[in-house]
A and B are shown apart, each in its own frame.
Chain A
Amino acid sequence: MTQPLVLRSKAESLAAPMPALLVEAERLATTVLLGEHGRKRAGTGDTFWQYRPAQTHDEARSIDWRRSARSDVNFVQDKEWQIAQSIILWVDQAAAMSFSSDSNLPSKAQRARVLGLACAILLIRGGERVGLTGLRLPPRRGAAQVVQMAQLLSVDDDADYGTPTTQGMLPHSRAIFISDFLGDLQPIADALLRAADRGVRGALVQVLDPQEETFPFDGRTIFQSMSGSLQHETLKAGDLKQRYLDRLAERKDRLTHLVQTTGWQFQTHHTNDSATKALLWLYGALEQHR
């Protein structure tokens, strides 16, 4: 189990150099709560948008007398329509994520958590509401949310491979799934489709260890999953390399295909790469629909 404080401080340090990440929010009608996303149109909000001549349906108390006194026409001050976005995070906490091929490399889980939490911190700083999937932590804003999220993310799961849940996803909100996507793909596909049905868009980040990409093994080997439940013995591991790599590529293809059908985005990140790179990509992915 990762220390919550350590995790948070790492995430803060990763988030610190980023400009405030403003998620484009489009077409949020029902779940609107006031946030700091200007909709570039008049509506309810705090900041000034424009003066317009008063119409007949305008109440008299909405007339801006200071402006109207400078001319003969009555003016009404419009405010910019502001909303806040809800973002739901799913970070895979299964045992497979705790793999690390080298003591100098972070485990996949560690990288995924830092990435997720950094994203959350940026979003909260930008005024969004961030939560976790599965009703564990509904979207909220404020620093206390970050602390709570860090605590929840620090818990390890015993299962070999994790599956996302779509519970607690508000319609037309945003979602980020971070996992190695090495387990069964069907639940993930289901979750994605269900989310797409509810108008949720988002990004998939596949975090992989470099060894999982290269398969540098040879000789007689027994491969075991992290919890030991799965096992595969081979006499010449070197012979399996090509077929393993083919399967991995096929899996990435399927994920890409899924993402394309649902309007999500997909990226593979390796633990020996810089985390900032992945965060930048996430920034771009969430901004794309502005």
Chain B
Amino acid sequence: MWIIGSLGFTAPLLLLALIALPVLWILLRAVPPAPVRRRFPGVALLLGLTDDEAQSDRTPWWLLLLRMLAVAAVIIGFAGPVLNPQETRDGRGDLVIMLDGSWAGAADWQARRDQIDRLLAEAALSDRRVAVVNLTDLPTEDLPFAAPGTWRNRLPNLAPNPWQPQDPAEYFASRTGQFETYWLSDGLDYPGRTDLLNTVESAGPVTVFQTPRQILGIRPARFVDGQVQISAVRTPLGNPVETSINAIGLDPAGVERQLATVPLTIAAGDAAGGTAMVLPPELRNRITRFEISGLRSAGAVSLTDDALKRRKVALIAGDENRETLELLSPLYYLREALDPTADLIAGSLADILLANPDVLVLADVATLAAGEADAVLTWVENGGLLLRFAGPRLAASDLGRNTEDPLLPVRLRSGGRSVGGTMSWGEPKSLAPFETSSPFFGLPVPADVAVTSQVMAQPDPTLAERVVAQLADGTPLVTRKVAGEGQIVLFHVTANAEWSTLPLSGLFVQMLERLAVSTRPATPDAAALEGTTWMPGKLLDAFGRLNDASAQSGVPGERLAEATAGPELQPGLYTGTDRQLAVNVIGPDTALEVAQWPARIAVEGMTTLRETALKGWLLAAAIGLLLIDVIASLALGGRLRGPRADLAAAIFLMSLAVPDAQAQPVQGDDFAIRATSEVVLGHVLTGDQQTDDVTAAGLRGLSQTLFRRTSIEPGEPLGVNLESDELAFFPFLYWPITADQPLPSRDAYAKLNRYLRSGGMIMFDTRDADTARFGSGSPAGRKLQAIARSLDIPALEPIPSDHVLTRTFYLLQDFPGRFSSRDVWVEAAPPGAARAEGMPFRALNDGVTPVIIGGNDWARAWAVDRNGNRMFPVGRGTAGERQREIALRFGVNVIMHVLTGNYKSDQVHVPDLLDRLGQ
């Protein structure tokens, strides 16, 4: 092969013929066009007339050029030009195609899959055994060597995983035997890569495929100084990167949408860049994840957990207006404690309640206006947390003396007490360790916390269970009661340091945190997580999509503390007892490094260009040029008028029509519009052209029948490709089973199951009821079993005689198609269904059967061609026509059943109801 740029020639010597073109030019130029001989009776009138110009017509230059181009196209065409010629790799022995399969390769996964496909095709040519190994999903046993064809079939199921390979060298170290390795690298370095390289090199030559490109990741967002700090990290490769970060969350209507967008720039040469987002707390608390816009990988998604959420805390003090030091303000210590982790609201109580805070702090507030008290109580019962602190006013008031105040957890004794003061006996009291039932359990109690004054709780039968913290002598310090969905907590001391040193200690902050007044700032450490189990709520896949994972098993807290994603800890949101933790692909200090390869390893780029042979195109162009030449010559020679004009026009039209000859399949939006603008029956494309055509004709016949006889007016039926088309548009799918159709891929199965669960109906037709019985081992029957194995199909029974299908439109007891087997199966009725006295049918009011399975070849019985003629004979004579009619009626009943559900099932009660109303 001879290659110039991206063009290669398989037979370059033929190009020498181009030298002959100028000779051809001269030859063609010399010969004038031949005369036309015409029979024409009017010649008698022409005799004696002479031409004005004696010069003969010569072939015009543009016609010559046209011919030259045509000849040149033929010569170049036969020289075998190839666009993007590919060097074929030849090799012998076993081949291992290894791919990193991490999130970094998700963005161009299709290209990777194509590359593997090409490598497999080459391996198939040289007849090698191949094993495809995804390093993030290592096989459990030995290398799965198989024929390349087998692997090509499995290729659609190959998917990247949202984590990096975990020590793959270990797996390969225990493999014996020689093999060549093709390694599709994601371009990202990870620990153990060099070891792996050394291991596989010992088994045979290694070729690496890696595209130099940038990989972007987003680090978890942090909340610093009232701003959300977001940073992105990349493989440090030169050019600056400009992108934007989207904050995504639920809007008040519960719809997920983009809440905010900020631009983000990473300067040239830098590995990371950051930006800040300032959002109102209402918006910020809604954010569920950040994404780098336009990237499809798990690394470009960062889930947020409680760390970013901040609670709204309203602070109200009974007496704010005193002329004393700021340090003596009842709210000073609360502000200091809460400010870093919560949003504080101040204002009048009525205004604050409108803002719907999470926590309301009343510091030494004794009485509330009656209306306010009710409003606060309602707010508490709807889930608010009311936190009260005692103080001189509360102690002096009569609140909760004789009866329990609804806004206080306990009854209070009048006056309170003071200990350890100059005028009193005893020492200031210290705190007792927290009980196990207390929310503060586990917090260390500092020795220097001392309480000098407090309000006292009345001993009540309920007091013991309401105490969550007490002093060393057993007097309650913090009490709590549940009201509705919320709770009311009372600190029996002041919020400032007047009555105790508690607000001065770190314990105060921790207690507030435990009470969920403030938000815990960061991930709990390993010690706190030890022994806990976390349930995955939503998990990320490698493409950055969130999937529901409530069916997955829990993850131990120790593993969660490592915070690195892996097969046993998939990135996603994990829910513990009282909080959520996000595990992201990229941690706060993950760095992305480009995978570097030693010089001895051949590194090839990922080929995205396919080899294209241009021969056909050039020859077609030559033929096109010659066709134009024919027409132009005819026009010049005057042959384009008169009797030959029709012929010339026909040739011209033909040359125009050639490119349109191949009808394009319906694609994308067109497909959706066609499928949804009217009721359209769908059939599954089996890949067998004849079967598909017959099925389409069958559904066309059924559609026409429906149109004529019922108020259902379906459009032209559509073929549905299970892999690429959306199924949800179709109320009904007809699925002819051929023995050699491929099994749907995993994605297609997921789609089919979703379709079946959400009310779709599939009619399976094995089309062999003339030779086989249901469940017998006919080829189509076995294929149906293979297909249905992964489908969500309920228990089945043969259509019972009182099934609603027997009466949705026509009254039927037989369901023939081209064959009239009675083996037609539908979803089994629930076991409890009983027949009421005097009723012809059992009362069955469940949903539509999701499947009808049979082999009567209904499509052929229904099939009509474009002119409306029946395409296949059914039975013999009038009996056969009767059978076809019943087949059509069955079809009508099925579609009615699909579209109206069990409406007819209810109708059977009508006579009964009328009877009762009449009395």
Contact of A221 with B36 in the complex, beta carbons under 8 Å: yes
Q: Is B42 an interface residue (CB 8 A)?
A: yes
Complex: chain A residue closest to B54, CB-CB: A235
Give CA–CA (A161, B43) in the complex, Å. Answer: 11
In angstroms, how far is the closest chain A Cβ from the Cβ of B46?
A: 5
Contact of B52 with A239 in the complex, beta carbons under 8 Å: yes
Contact of A182 with B37 in the complex, beta carbons under 8 Å: no
Give CA–CA (A278, B639) in the complex, Å. Answer: 32
Contacting residues, chain B, for A182 (C-beta < 8 A): 41-42, 44-45
Give CA–CA (A101, B38) in the complex, Å. Answer: 10
In angstroms, how far is the closest chain B Cβ from the Cβ of A25?
A: 36
Q: Is B641 an interface residue (CB 8 A)?
A: yes
A 159-205 contacts with B by CB, 8 A:
160-161, 180, 182-183
In angstroms, how far is the closest chain A Cβ from the Cβ of B163?
A: 78
In angstroms, how far is the closest chain A Cβ from the Cβ of B656?
A: 24
Contact of A180 with B642 in the complex, beta carbons under 8 Å: no
In angstroms, how far is the closest chain A Cβ from the Cβ of B902?
A: 65
Q: Is A233 an interface residue (CB 8 A)?
A: yes
In angstroms, how far is the closest chain A Cβ from the Cβ of B639?
A: 7
A 100-154 contacts with B by CB, 8 A:
101-103, 108
Contact of A219 with B637 in the complex, beta carbons under 8 Å: yes
Q: Binary interface profile of A, 207-248, with partner B (CB < 8 Å = 1, else 0)?
A: 001011001111111111110001111111111100110011
Contact of B641 with A216 in the complex, beta carbons under 8 Å: yes
Contact of B45 with A244 in the complex, beta carbons under 8 Å: yes
Q: Is B47 an interface residue (CB 8 A)?
A: yes
Contact of A230 with B51 in the complex, beta carbons under 8 Å: no
Complex: chain A residue closest to B633, CB-CB: A219
Complex: chain A residue closest to B40, CB-CB: A223
Contact of A99 with B41 in the complex, beta carbons under 8 Å: yes
Q: Is A67 an interface residue (CB 8 A)?
A: no
Contact of A230 with B44 in the complex, beta carbons under 8 Å: yes
Contacting residues, chain A, for B55 (C-beta < 8 A): 235
Contact of A225 with B36 in the complex, beta carbons under 8 Å: no
Given A101-B643, A222-B38: A232 touches B53 (CB 8 Å cut-off):
no
Contacting residues, chain B, for A218 (C-beta < 8 A): 637-638, 641
Contact of B51 with A225 in the complex, beta carbons under 8 Å: no
Q: Is A254 an interface residue (CB 8 A)?
A: no
Contact of B36 with A220 in the complex, beta carbons under 8 Å: yes
Contacting residues, chain B, for A247 (C-beta < 8 A): 45
In angstroms, how far is the closest chain A Cβ from the Cβ of B454?
A: 119
Q: Is A96 an interface residue (CB 8 A)?
A: yes
Contact of B53 with A223 in the complex, beta carbons under 8 Å: no
In angstroms, how far is the closest chain B Cβ from the Cβ of A248?
A: 6
Selected from A96, A216, A232, the residue in CB contact (under 8 A) with B642 is A216
Complex: chain B residue closest to A233, CB-CB: B35
Given A102-B643, A222-B37: A238 touches B43 (CB 8 Å cut-off):
no
Selected from A219, A223, A239, A248, the residue in CB contact (under 8 A) with B43 is A223
Contacting residues, chain B, for A220 (C-beta < 8 A): 32-36, 56-57, 637-638
Q: Is B49 an interface residue (CB 8 A)?
A: yes
Contact of B638 with A99 in the complex, beta carbons under 8 Å: no
Contacting residues, chain A, for B41 (C-beta < 8 A): 96-97, 99, 108, 160, 180, 182, 209, 212, 225-226
Complex: chain A residue closest to B51, CB-CB: A235
In angstroms, how far is the closest chain A Cβ from the Cβ of B758?
A: 63
In angstroms, how far is the closest chain A Cβ from the Cβ of B377?
A: 101
Complex: chain B residue closest to A230, CB-CB: B43
In angstroms, how far is the closest chain B Cβ from the Cβ of A113?
A: 16
Q: Is B789 an interface residue (CB 8 A)?
A: no
Q: Is B89 an interface residue (CB 8 A)?
A: no
Q: Is A52 an interface residue (CB 8 A)?
A: no
Give CA–CA (A95, B637) in the complex, Å. Answer: 27
Q: Is B155 an interface residue (CB 8 A)?
A: no
Give CA–CA (A239, B37) in the complex, Å. Answer: 17
Complex: chain A residue closest to B640, CB-CB: A218
Contacting residues, chain A, for B623 (C-beta < 8 A): none
Contacting residues, chain B, for A41 (C-beta < 8 A): none
Q: Is B916 an interface residue (CB 8 A)?
A: no
Q: Is B636 an interface residue (CB 8 A)?
A: yes
Complex: chain B residue closest to A102, CB-CB: B643
Complex: chain A residue closest to B634, CB-CB: A219
Give CA–CA (A96, B465) in the complex, Å. Answer: 129
Complex: chain A residue closest to B47, CB-CB: A232
Contact of A217 with B44 in the complex, beta carbons under 8 Å: no
Q: Is A257 an interface residue (CB 8 A)?
A: no
A 234-290 contacts with B by CB, 8 A:
234-240, 243-244, 247-248, 251
Contact of A224 with B32 in the complex, beta carbons under 8 Å: no
Given A102-B643, A232-B49: A248 touches B638 (CB 8 Å cut-off):
no
Contact of B637 with A240 in the complex, beta carbons under 8 Å: no
Give CA–CA (A24, B492) in the complex, Å. Answer: 142
Complex: chain A residue closest to B35, CB-CB: A220
Contacting residues, chain A, for B636 (C-beta < 8 A): 219
Contacting residues, chain A, for B43 (C-beta < 8 A): 223-225, 230-232
Q: Binary interface profile of A, 20-57, with partner B (CB < 8 Å = 1, else 0)?
A: 00000000000000000000000000000000000000
Selected from A183, A209, A223, the residue in CB contact (under 8 A) with B46 is A223
Q: Is B39 an interface residue (CB 8 A)?
A: yes
Contact of A236 with B53 in the complex, beta carbons under 8 Å: yes
Q: Binary interface profile of B, 639-655, with partner A (CB < 8 Å = 1, else 0)?
A: 10111000000000000
Complex: chain B residue closest to A225, CB-CB: B43
Give CA–CA (A205, B72) in the complex, Å. Answer: 58
Complex: chain B residue closest to A183, CB-CB: B44
Complex: chain B residue closest to A161, CB-CB: B44
Contact of B42 with A212 in the complex, beta carbons under 8 Å: yes
Give CA–CA (A220, B45) in the complex, Å. Answer: 18
Contacting residues, chain A, for B40 (C-beta < 8 A): 99, 211-212, 217, 223-225
Complex: chain B residue closest to A184, CB-CB: B44
Give CA–CA (A224, B49) in the complex, Å. Answer: 14
Give CA–CA (A180, B43) in the complex, Å. Answer: 13
Contacting residues, chain B, for A233 (C-beta < 8 A): 35
Complex: chain A residue closest to B645, CB-CB: A216
Contact of A238 with B38 in the complex, beta carbons under 8 Å: no
B 48-72 contacts with A by CB, 8 A:
49, 51-57
Give CA–CA (A234, B49) in the complex, Å. Answer: 9
Q: Find the residue from B32, B46, B47 having the highest chain A CB count within 10 A.
A: B46
Contacting residues, chain A, for B42 (C-beta < 8 A): 182, 212, 215, 223, 244, 248
Give CA–CA (A248, B637) in the complex, Å. Answer: 25
In angstroms, how far is the closest chain A Cβ from the Cβ of B177?
A: 78
Complex: chain B residue closest to A232, CB-CB: B46
Contact of A237 with B45 in the complex, beta carbons under 8 Å: no
In angstroms, how far is the closest chain A Cβ from the Cβ of B782?
A: 62
Selected from A221, A239, A240, the residue in CB contact (under 8 A) with B38 is A221
Q: Find the residue from A223, A239, A248 having the highest chain B CB count within 10 A.
A: A223
Give CA–CA (A238, B638) in the complex, Å. Answer: 8
Give CA–CA (A150, B91) in the complex, Å. Answer: 89
Give CA–CA (A221, B51) in the complex, Å. Answer: 11
Contact of B46 with A211 in the complex, beta carbons under 8 Å: no
Contacting residues, chain B, for A222 (C-beta < 8 A): 35-38
Contact of A240 with B643 in the complex, beta carbons under 8 Å: no
Contacting residues, chain A, for B53 (C-beta < 8 A): 235-236, 239
In angstroms, how far is the closest chain A Cβ from the Cβ of B48?
A: 9
Give CA–CA (A254, B865) in the complex, Å. Answer: 65
Contacting residues, chain A, for B51 (C-beta < 8 A): 234-236, 239-240
Selected from A102, A215, A235, the residue in CB contact (under 8 A) with B57 is A235
Selected from B39, B54, B638, the residue in CB contact (under 8 A) with A226 is B39
Chain B residues in contact with chain A, CB under 8 A?
Answer: 32-47, 49, 51-57, 636-639, 641-643
CB-CB nearest 10 A-B residue pairs: A219-B638, A218-B638, A96-B41, A220-B35, A219-B637, A223-B43, A247-B45, A216-B641, A232-B46, A223-B40
Chain A to chain B contacts (Cβ below 8 Å), 12 pairs: A102-B643, A108-B41, A209-B41, A218-B637, A219-B639, A223-B43, A223-B46, A224-B38, A226-B41, A236-B53, A239-B53, A244-B49
* Additional A-B contact list (18), CB under 8 Å, known A161-B44, A211-B642: A103-B643, A108-B41, A160-B41, A160-B44, A180-B41, A218-B637, A218-B641, A220-B35, A221-B38, A222-B36, A222-B38, A223-B38, A223-B42, A224-B38, A225-B41, A232-B49, A235-B54, A243-B49
